[in-house]
Amino acid sequence: MKDKIEAFLDLVKERNGHEPEFLQAVQEVAETVIPYIAKHDIYNGKNILLRMVEPERLISFRVSWVDDAGEIQVNRGYRIQMNSAIGPYKGGLRFHPTVNASILKFLAFEQVFKNSLTTLPMGGGKGGSDFDPKGKSDNEIMRFCHAFMTELFRHIGHNTDVPAGDIGVGAREIGFMFGMYKKLKNTFTGVLTGKGQSWGGSLIRPEATGYGNVYFAENMLKTKNDSFNGKRIVISGSGNVAQFAAEKAIELGATVLTLSDSGGYIIDEDGIDTEKLEFVMDLKNVKRGRISEYVDKYPNAKFVKGERPWSVKCDIALPCATQNELNGDEAKQLVDNGCICVSEGANMPSTPEAIHEFQKAKILFAPGKASNAGGVATSGLEMSQNSLRLSWTREEVDEKLKGIMEDIHDSCVEYGKNDDGSVDYIRGANIAGFVKVADAMLAQGVV
């Protein structure tokens, strides 16, 4: 089996050797899915995984725009249309200076499995730009988003490819992009999700990734007759996912101790309560400030510059910032400090070495493609509401989100249960996500 996996990975490396994040994501899937394929005749000899690692379409384009000083700026835009076997391509857009083809291909590949796990009919895609929104004025953001959409509009559509937000893309950016799409196409459709309430957005979509992550962790804890109540929680990031993971954890009776951004982390031993979280939301979403400013307002807290929060003693860790933000040494420290559960809000935040430490210690560990799927699932619910031309209540959407996260948890258990009764949530998520897409690909023939 090892030879088979290595031969497959060598082939993928030969074609994508310069794309480390993509290779990392593929390796994790190959190690769990290839043994499953070998045991199931219908998938054998069909090169399904080889087809799945090759994007159906990779679009790269120039984005030219004019900054406030009148200078012409040039960025690179992308959309990776990875797999459409079970539905239109679906996945976020990331605006961050580190964006490149490798990062977007890893995200698009993960998205295929994640979207399949949601049980909704969505294929996988991802896109974005190396544009850095930090320090830009609202007008610059608008001009960039408009310029980005003047090319992207050709490739997307409510039945073709439906982008949404990701790092650096929130309600403001979705609004600007939707406005330009509508102008260019002269049609009002649900071509993007994460829209504002008054123009087709779904209630709970902003909250969904963070809430969903906590719901998933709750399901894992339930298998041990445990809960969030009274637990110490360490969260990284302070953006969309981190904010709403914190909100739900507080609601469930936990104490949230940390938040972070690329400058460092804050630790508040008194706990970040609802009022303090409201301050963070205003600081980050309106003032677009830095997390270090938290300690100006709450001097009992401490800012640790240039560090990540994983050395803080906790029961539950929720990495909600970015890929590879939690390494092997940090994972070991979490385990040694008594952490019993890690649930990924971000995409691939734990390195392979970190995952190895969690699995060795047999603590509860959920990979992002399962635990952060609540965001895209609620995007799927936004698409349904747009098609039906109606809006569900907050309670209705939250109930559906909870149900979907429970179903994803059950699928992971179904495919990931070990002989000793423990659950390998990585194997479970990869195989459950694979089966649905692979069955659709088999039914549709070699296309």
Ligand X SMILES: O=C(O)CCC(=O)C(=O)O
Q: Comparing C-alpha atoms, which of 328, 320, 317, 324 is closest to residue 354? A: 328
CB nearer ligand NDP, residue 34 or residue 346: 346
Q: Compute the distance between CA of residue 81 and CA of residue 58 in angstroms, rounded to an integer.
A: 6
* Binding partner of residue 91 among ligand NDP, ligand X, none, CB cut-off 5 to 8 Å per kind: ligand X
Name which of residues 263 to 282 contact ligand NDP (CB under 6 A).
263
- How wide is the angle at C-alpha 291 spanned by C-alphas 177 and 285, nearest 5°? 30
The structure tokens listed for 200 are: 């087709």
| Least separation in angstroms between CB 405 and ligand X | 13
| Least separation in angstroms between CB 294 and ligand X | 26
CB 395 within 8 A of CB 198: no
Of the candidate residues 56, 161, 166, 315, the single one contacting ligand NDP (CB under 6 A): 166
| Least separation in angstroms between CB 237 and ligand NDP | 4
Query: Closest-CB residue for ligand X?
Result: 92
150 binds ligand NDP (CB under 6 A): no
- How wide is the angle at C-alpha 111 spanned by C-alphas 108 and 113, nearest 5°? 125
Tell me which residue has tokens 């008194």.
270
CB nearer ligand NDP, residue 21 or residue 325: 325
Q: Compute the distance between CA of residue 361 and CA of residue 355 in angstroms, rounded to an integer.
A: 10
> Taking contact as CB under 6 A, which single stretch among the options 145-153, 182-190, 270-278, 374-382 is the one that binds ligand X?
374-382
379 binds ligand X (CB under 6 A): yes
CB-neighbour burial class of residue 47 (10 A; exposed 0-12, middle 13-18, buried 19+)? exposed
* Binding partner of residue 90 among ligand X, ligand NDP, none, CB cut-off 5 to 8 Å per kind: ligand X
Of the candidate residues 55, 165, 309, 416, the single one contacting ligand NDP (CB under 6 A): 165
| Least separation in angstroms between CB 345 and ligand NDP | 6
Q: Comparing C-alpha atoms, which of 35, 11, 48 is closest to residue 439? A: 48
Sign of CA dihedral 423, 429, 430, 432: positive
CB nearer ligand X, residue 192 or residue 234: 192
| Least separation in angstroms between CB 91 and ligand X | 5
Mind telling me the catalytic residues?
A: 126
* Binding partner of residue 239 among ligand X, ligand NDP, none, CB cut-off 5 to 8 Å per kind: ligand NDP
Spatial neighbors of 299 by CB under 8 A, at least 6 apart, are none
137 binds ligand NDP (CB under 6 A): no
321 binds ligand NDP (CB under 6 A): yes
Name which of residues 51 to 90 contact ligand X (CB under 6 A).
90
167 binds ligand NDP (CB under 6 A): yes
| Least separation in angstroms between CB 127 and ligand X | 9
Q: Comparing C-alpha atoms, which of 251, 229, 250, 247 is closest to residue 238? A: 247
What are 282's strand-pairing partners?
none
Q: What share of the chain is helix, strand, coil (3-state, %, to 5)?
A: 50, 15, 30
383 binds ligand X (CB under 6 A): no
Rg (CA), the chain: 21
> Taking contact as CB under 6 A, which single stretch among the options 28-36, 142-150, 309-317, 368-376 is the one that binds ligand X?
368-376
Binding-site size for ligand NDP (CB under 6 A) equals: 23
CB-neighbour burial class of residue 276 (10 A; exposed 0-12, middle 13-18, buried 19+)? buried
CB 401 within 8 A of CB 208: yes
Name which of residues 201 to 220 contact ligand NDP (CB under 6 A).
209
Query: Closest-CB residue for ligand NDP?
Result: 239
* Binding partner of residue 81 among ligand X, ligand NDP, none, CB cut-off 5 to 8 Å per kind: none
Name which of residues 86 to 115 contact ligand X (CB under 6 A).
90-92, 111, 114
Spatial neighbors of 170 by CB under 8 A, at least 6 apart, are 194, 240, 285
343 binds ligand NDP (CB under 6 A): no
CB nearer ligand X, residue 344 or residue 357: 344
Q: How far apart are the first and last CA of the chain?
A: 28
- How wide is the angle at C-alpha 376 spanned by C-alphas 374 and 377, nearest 5°? 60
Task: Kindly report the number of other CB atoms within 10 A of residue 356's CB atom.
Answer: 14
| Least separation in angstroms between CB 395 and ligand X | 21
Q: Which residues bind ligand NDP (CB under 6 A)?
A: 165-168, 209, 237-242, 261-263, 320-322, 325, 345-347, 372, 375
Q: Which residues bind ligand X (CB under 6 A)?
A: 90-92, 111, 114, 164, 166, 193, 347, 372, 375-376, 379
